[in-house]
Amino acid sequence: MVMRRKERLRSSERRGGVELLLTEDIPSLGNQGEIVRVKPGYARNFLLPQGLATIATEANKQMVEKHRERQEAVRQQRLDQIRKLANEVSKYSVTLEANATDEGHLYGSIVAADISKALKAANYTVEPDQIRLDGPLKELGMYTVKLQFDPDVAAEVKVWVVPAATVTS
């Protein structure tokens, strides 16, 4: 019987290996919850003592599946809340006052943190890292700013940059 190169068994398959359930993400091996086959020494000397994996028993597999279902339900609930927030924010417009020259150029600039602060004042929880600006806003006017809440959920908000009211005596 001649074995061809593609049909050759790997050493872990030939020697059996150990099936483990990963408890944490390991870049070279797999993600949390995956069942992997490793050499016995790697399992015995590194993965198990470090708490990075457990033996893949039927009970552990069922627990991981239940945990995965719960995580998916929580993720779906969070996604629904984010969509609701995105829908509400897209109907709102932010007005920011800034010191400007007579030509409309700002002395400073409006950045994501300023827009986030104004949205938080209006009871919308938007973090500065969720705001996508091409650069700081340096002129008076109306801008449409993109908000990225999640890879799947995005919204736009109108930002009005107006001159600060000056008091003349």
pLDDT grade for 80, boundaries at 50, 70 and 90: very high
Q: Which of 81, 109, 128 is the last residue of a domain?
A: 81
Q: Is residue 2 part of a domain?
A: no
User: What's the pLDDT at 142?
Assistant: 93
User: What's the pLDDT at 15?
Assistant: 60
Q: Is residue 168 part of a domain?
A: no
> Tens digits of per-residue pLDDT, 44-78?
999 999 999 998 888 888 888 898 899 899 999 99
Give the CATH number, domain containing residue 93: 3.10.430.100
Considering the domain architecture, whether residues 36 and 70 belong to the same structural domain is answered as: yes
Q: Which one, of 135, 117, 139, 138, lies nearest residue 126 by Cα?
A: 117
Domain span at residue 155? 84-163
Which residues face 132 on adjacent strands? 146
108 has pLDDT over 80 = yes
Q: Is residue 37 part of a domain?
A: yes
User: What's the pLDDT at 81?
Assistant: 92
> Which pair of structure tokens corresponds to residue 26?
């390991």
Distance of alpha carbon 87 from alpha carbon 54, whole angstroms: 43
First to last CA, the chain: 103
Distance of alpha carbon 107 from alpha carbon 82, whole angstroms: 35
What average pLDDT does the structure give for the chain? Answer: 86
pLDDT grade for 17, boundaries at 50, 70 and 90: confident
Considering the domain architecture, whether residues 41 and 107 belong to the same structural domain is answered as: no
Which residues face 157 on adjacent strands? 145
